[in-house]
Copies of this chain bind each other. A is one copy, B any other.
Amino acid sequence: MKKLLNDPADLVAESLRGVERAHPELRIDHENRILYRADAPVSGKVGLLSGGGSGHEPAHAGFIGPGMLDAVCAGEVFTSPVPDQMAEATKNIDGGAGVLHLVWNYTGDVMNFDMAAELAAAETDTEVQAVVMNDDVAVEDSLFTAGRRGTGAAIAVEKIVGAAADQGRSLSELADLARRVNDSSRSMGMALTSCTVPAKGTPTFDLPEDEIEIGIGIHGEPGRRRVPLTSAHEIAQMLVDPILADRDFTGGEGVFVFVNGMGATPQLELYLMYNEVAALLDKAGIVPVRSLVGPYVTSLDMAGCLVSITRLDDDMLRLWDAPVATAGLRWGM
Q: Which residues of A contact B (CB under 8 A)?
A: 2-6, 11-12, 14-19, 21-22, 54-55, 57-58, 62, 77, 192-193, 209, 212, 229, 231-233, 235, 263-276, 278, 288, 291, 293-295, 298, 300-301, 303-305, 325, 330-333
Contact = CB atoms under 8 A, between A and B. Distances in A.
A38 to B, nearest CB: 16
Given A6-B231, A17-B272, 14 more contacts: A2-B303, A3-B192, A4-B265, A5-B231, A6-B232, A11-B269, A19-B271, A21-B274, A22-B274, A55-B268, A264-B301, A266-B300, A267-B295, A330-B330
A15 B275 contact: yes
Contacts of A276: 18
Instruction: State the majority secondary structure of interface residues on A.
Output: mixed
Contact of A332 (B18, B192, B232, B333): B333
State how many copies of this chain the complex holds: 2
A303 to B, nearest CB: 7
Given A6-B232, A55-B266, A57-B266, A271 B18 contact: yes
Nearest to A236: B4
Nearest to A234: B6
23 contacts: A2-B212, A2-B303, A4-B265, A4-B272, A4-B273, A6-B231, A6-B272, A11-B269, A12-B268, A14-B232, A14-B272, A15-B271, A16-B271, A18-B278, A18-B293, A21-B275, A21-B288, A266-B300, A266-B301, A267-B298, A301-B303, A330-B330, A332-B333
A268 B209 CA distance: 26
A201 to B, nearest CB: 12
Nearest to A278: B21
Contact of A264 (B212, B268, B270, B303): B303
Contacts of A294: 58
Given A265-B4, A301-B266, A18 B273 contact: yes
Nearest to A22: B291
B15 A291 contact: no
